[in-house]
């Protein structure tokens, strides 16, 4: 609905889902008459293509189920760090151990519910340069050689 109401926004949905869910999303896209602004090939996208796509985008969105019974609660979602690596600020569900770092470095925004997306996207649009600096600071903090050499000093 946000895409329908906000004419200057486009959406790319990257990845693969079950055919029933894909058909459900395609129906929503048709019902909202936003097919010209939503790209959803429902296919695996390799790293090279993903990097090319990232050049045409401004934000990465990573929404997860919340709760102690979800895998995300106990894991470190790679998607978030991939977005950061590609220079994209992140909007993610406030779950998993990486979320506080997104907030600390202002590398994106944390949301509790999907209904927050319009407000968060508008805020990011107004302060995009600050989020870009946050992405850079986040990436510097987690830079592989630096981070792990400090994290494993005792070894």
Q: What is the Cα–Cα distance from 33 to 21, expressed in whole angstroms?
A: 18
Distances (CA, A) of 28 to 11, 21, 39, 76, 84: 13, 11, 13, 30, 29
- Over the stretch 59-92, which tens digit does the pLDDT of each residue have? 999 988 777 777 766 677 788 988 999 999 999 9
- Over the stretch 9-58, which tens digit does the pLDDT of each residue have? 999 999 899 999 999 999 999 999 999 999 999 999 988 998 999 999 99
pTM: 0.83
Q: Which pLDDT value is given to residue 96?
A: 82
């Amino acid at each position: 609905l946000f895409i329908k109401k906000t004419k200057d926004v486009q959406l790319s949905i990257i990845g693969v889902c079950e055919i029933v869910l894909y058909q459900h999303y395609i129906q929503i896209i048709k019902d909202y008459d936003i097919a010209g602004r939503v790209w959803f090939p429902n296919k695996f996208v390799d790293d090279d293509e993903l990097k090319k796509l990232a050049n045409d985008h401004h934000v990465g969105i990573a929404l997860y189920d919340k709760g102690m019974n979800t895998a995300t609660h106990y894991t470190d979602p790679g998607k978030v760090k991939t977005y950061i690596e590609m220079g994209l600020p992140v909007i993610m569900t406030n779950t998993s151990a990486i979320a506080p770092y997104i907030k600390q470095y202002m590398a994106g925004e944390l949301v509790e519910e999907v209904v927050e997306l319009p407000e968060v996207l508008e805020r990011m649009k107004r302060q995009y340069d600050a989020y870009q600096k946050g992405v850079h600071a986040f990436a510097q903090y987690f830079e592989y050689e630096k981070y792990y050499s400090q994290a494993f000093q005792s070894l």
